[in-house]
Amino acid sequence: MLDSSLEFLKCVNCSSKLELNAFKHEKEIVEGILECTKCSKQFPIIDKIPILWGDFSLYLSSRKKLSGQLYQLIENSNLRKFYKISLSKIKQFSDDRTDIEERWSLIYQNSKSAKFYTEIKKNIHSIKKSNFVLEYGCSIGIMSSFLAESHQMVFGIDRSFTALRYAKKVHKNNLDYVVADFMSPVFGKLQFDLILALNVLELTEPIELLNHISEQITNGYFIISDPYDFDRGTQSVKKPLDEISLRQNLKNLKFKITSKTKIPSHIIWTLKLNPRAVLNYQVDLVIGKK
């Protein structure tokens, strides 16, 4: 975690300021604990990545394999003590998400050169340089790292520690990542000039996410894309959107859709699942401005 990120991160429990107790520091904070100045909630920093999850034990309970991996990464005795206490609060492990998060991290690594990203980058070039940029569902940091080349400060949020650990291999003084739930108030009331949410609408209730993001933009741009692939069985969202309802919801939130993205698009996004299989999506891109 960058030292400068402390200024912007907030307690996801009560939105108050966080204090840092750093245990290991190199170019950035490698290990430490963030503690809320109001409610005393604590959040670990492990291998440079802050995990701002409302219930850290709950986060670990659905990632049994990862929980063992994280423990092996920790060097500081105080952080190990905190981690053991968190593990002791787990009553029962649920379905392990570790393998699927590792698999998708690898798929994105193998698909970094997809033309989809080139198309998104072209559209971003037309947007003025921003002070604060946020990407939801940043995964391995393909777009976040690109944005950091021309914008002042860029943050990426994702649920996958595995993906962010890969993203952190690229160090930039204006780029940082956080493990967090999309709907949590990671940055309090901070307003962003540009927010990206690429192909993530199946991960949380779309309308709730749009409302949440709208509150983070007073004067700026919102870039969202999606293939509208909401079929996740019991994990499917309750109120999926399509290309028409997405645009209408953005208009209701006072976003003006750019002329280039008023008409639904079909951008090819190819994901290399393995040496013998690829997944081809046709993705719709929408850019809104307030």
Give the pLDDT score at 233.
Answer: 82
Name the band, by pLDDT with cuts 50, 70 and 90, for residue 9.
very high
**pLDDT band at residue 128 under the 50/70/90 scheme:** confident
Helices (H), 42-90: 56-61, 64-73, 77-88
Residue type at 65 in one-letter notation: K
Question: What is the residue extent of each domain of the chain?
Answer: 3-96, 102-289
Cα–Cα nearest to 86, from 49, 46, 43:
43
CA distance 238 to 150: 37
Strand partners, 288: 222, 257
Burial class (CB in 10 A: 0-12, 13-18, 19+), 278: middle
Q: Tokens for 61, please give them.
A: 């309970």
- Check if the beta carbon of residue 241 is closer than 8 Å to that of residue 211: no
Torsion angle defined by CA atoms of residues 131, 137, 140 and 146, in that order, rounded to the nearest 10 degrees: -30
* pLDDT at residue 231, as a whole number: 87
Nearest CA to 210 among 261, 249, 256? 249
Type of residue found at 207:
I
Tell me: pLDDT of 272 over 90.
yes
Per residue in 206-260, pLDDT (tens digit) is: 999 999 999 999 999 999 999 999 988 888 899 999 999 999 999 999 999 999 9
Tell me what pLDDT residue 234 has: 81
DSSP code per residue over 210-223: HHHHHTT-SSSEEE
CB atoms within 10 A of CB 55: 13
CATH for 102-289, among 3.30.160.60, 1.20.58.220, 1.10.10.10, 3.40.50.150?
Answer: 3.40.50.150
Q: What is the pLDDT of residues 55-97, one digit of tens each?
A: 999 999 999 999 999 999 999 999 999 999 999 999 999 999 9
